[in-house]
Structure 1
Amino acid sequence: MSATSIPFSPLLHSGILLKRYKRFLADVRLDDGREMTVHCPNTGSMKGCAEPGSSVWVRLEQKTGRKLPGSWELVETPLGGLACIHSARANKVVAAALAQDLITPLVGYRVVRPEVRLPGGESRFDFLLSDPGECVVEVKSVTMAVGAGGGAFPDAVSLRGQKHLRELTSLAANGRRACLLFCVMHSGIEWVRPADEIDPEYGRLLRQAVAQGVEVIAWSVVPSPHGLEVAGQLPVEI
C-alpha cells in the first residue's frame, strides 16, 4: 500500500451482517459459514450503515481477557460504497495524515499533540497543532451518505458535537485558530453538509461557527478491505 494508507492488521474477514443490537454488538455470518457476535465500535445510530444482509468485514483477534472474537470494521452501504464504521479509526488516520503533511490546510506545524484540554476549557480537543502558532482541531467521522454523492453529519442528535462547536466558536471569536475536520470514512461520499434534518441545532451552530471564523474542512479517507487511504479534500456545503 502507498505511504498515504494505513493497512488493516490482521487482515479482515468478509461476511454478512445479521443484526446490530445493544449498540456495541453485531451478529455476523462469515463467508466460511461461521456465525459469531463481534464488537461494534461505534456509539452512533449508524444510519445507512447497519442494514441486515449488508456485506461486512470484521477483524478477528484473539486476546487474553477479550470476550468477543473481533470487531466490525467495514460495511457496504445501500447507496453504494464502503464505510468504515470503527469511529476511533478517524483520529488515527488523521494523526498519520498530519504527521505526513497530507492535510494541506493544516501543514506547517512542527508539534502535533492529541487529546488536549485547553486551560479553562471543559472539553478535550482531538489535536493541538503548534510551533509556529497554535491551531485547535476537532475531528468528526462522517459515514452517513444522503445520495447524489453527498454525506451529512451527525447521524443522530449530538449534544457533544454541539458543545464542541460552541467551544470552537468561542476560541475563534477570541482570535485563536480553530478547525473542525470532517473525516469522511465512506468511499461513496464526495461532499459534506450538516444534517439539518436530524440535528437542526448542530447545523445552526455550525453556521454560527463559520461566521465567527472557525475553519470547516472535509477530508476523504477511502476504505477498502486492505486498509484506509487518505485521498484528499472534499467540498463542504454550509
Structure 2
Amino acid sequence: MRFATPLVPARLVRRYKRFLADVALEDGREVTAHCPNPGAMTGLAEPGMRVWLEPNDDPRRKLGWGWRLVEMPCGRLAGVDTGVPNRVVGEALRAGLVPGLEGAVRAEVRYGERSRIDFMVGDTHVEVKNVHFRRDGDWAEFPDSRTARGARHLDEMAAVVRAGGRAVTLYLVQRPDCARLRIAADLDPVYGAAFARAREAGVETLAYGTRITREGVWLGERMPVE
C-alpha cells in the first residue's frame, strides 16, 4: 500500500482529544493534524518524537494533514493509522499472499446482529486488527486499551464457526521491533475472555508483521501467536 502523496516530516507537540495532534513542521509552522487512531498509542505519541504526515488538499476535510508514521527512538518507523491495516491486508488477499486465505475477496460484508466483517474471502470471514503496542521484549500486544467492539466481534465470529462457517482474526503489527503476538488480557479482561471463547469455538488466529517505509506499508512475515 503506497501513500497517496509524499510524506512530510514534523515534530509532535501534543496529541489530544484522541483524534487531534499539534505538530511543528520543519519550516517552523505549527499545524494541527488528524490522528487516525482512537487507542492509547503508548510510547508512540510522546512530545518531541519525529512524525510523518500526509498532506491533502481535499476541501471536504477539515484538516490538511494526516498523521501516518512515527519514528521510534531506534530510528525505525511505526504506523499509527488504524485505517492502513485493512488496505494492506486487502491488497495482500487480492494478490494471494496470505496462505490459506484464497478466493474472491469482498470487503465490508454484513454479518451477525449489527456488524460488518472486514473481508469475506470465499466463504471465510476475516476480521483485521491493528497492533502497535509493545511493552516487553519482542512481544506485540493487543489491545492497548479497552475495546467492547472488539470483544463483540469475537463473539459474533465464534457464532459463525458454531454455525458451520470459518472465521479468522488477522492481527497486523505496524512496528518492526516485534516478532510475536499475545493478547493483553490484563488491560482488557473482557476482550481476553472473548478471545479465549473464540479460540475454543474454532476461530482461527493469524498475525503478520509489516514492512514500513516513508513510501508505504506492506504485508511482512507471519509471526506466532501466544
Partner of 1:188: 177
Shift of 1:22: 1.1
- Corresponding residue number in structure 1 for 2:204: 215
Do residues 162 (structure 1) and 156 (structure 2) align? no
Counterpart position of 2:38: 43
Once the two structures are superposed, the pairs formed by residues 95-174 of structure 1 within 5 Å of their partners are 95-107=90-102, 109=103, 111-118=104-111, 121-130=113-122, 134-174=123-163
| CA distance in structure 1 between the aligned counterparts of 2:80 and 2:57, rounded to whole angstroms | 21
Match of 2:71 in 1: 76
- CA-to-partner distance for each residue in 1:166-215, whole Å, 9 max, x for gaps? 11111112221000010111122211110112102211221221111110
Q: Which amino acid aligns with 2:121?
A: L
Higher mean C-alpha displacement, 227-236 vs 134-143: 227-236
Change (3 A) 1:201 1:25: same
Return 88-97 or 120-129, whichever deviates more. 120-129
Aligned equivalents of 1:19 and 1:232: distance in 2? 33
Letter in 2 for 1:113: R
After TM superposition, give the deviation of residue 79 of structure 1 in Å: 7.3
The residue identity in structure 2 corresponding to 1:181 is: L
The answer to whether the 8 A contact 1:191-1:236 is kept is yes
Give me the TM-score of the superposition, normalised by structure 1: 0.90
Cα 1:78–1:145 shift into 2, 3 Å: farther
Q: Distance in 1 between matches of 2:92 and 2:2?
A: 14
What's the % identity of the aligned pairs?
Answer: 41
80-89 or 66-75, which deviates more: 80-89
**2-structure distance, mates of 1:54, 1:105:** 39
Q: Which residue of 2 aligns with 1:203?
A: 192
Contact 1:80 1:188 (C-alpha < 8 Å) held by counterparts: no
Match of residue 232 from structure 1: 221
Contact 1:74-1:86 within 8 A present in 2 as well: yes
SS in 2 for 1:181: strand
CA RMSD of aligned residues (A): 1.5
Structure 1: runs of 5 or more not aligned: 1-5
**What amino acid sits opposite 1:227 in the alignment?**
G
Name the TM-score, length of structure 2 as normaliser: 0.94
Number of residue-to-residue matches in the alignment = 226
- CA–CA distance in structure 2, aligned partners of residues 148 and 105 of structure 1: 29
Unaligned 5+ segments in structure 2 are none
Counterpart in the other structure of 1:88: 83
CA distance in 1, matches of 2:108, 2:4: 24
1:233 and 1:188 map into 2 onto residues whose CA distance is 14
Cα drift, residue 229 of structure 1 = 2.1
Q: Is the 8 A contact 1:82 1:188 kept in 2?
A: no
User: Cα distance, 1:161 vs. partner?
Assistant: 0.4
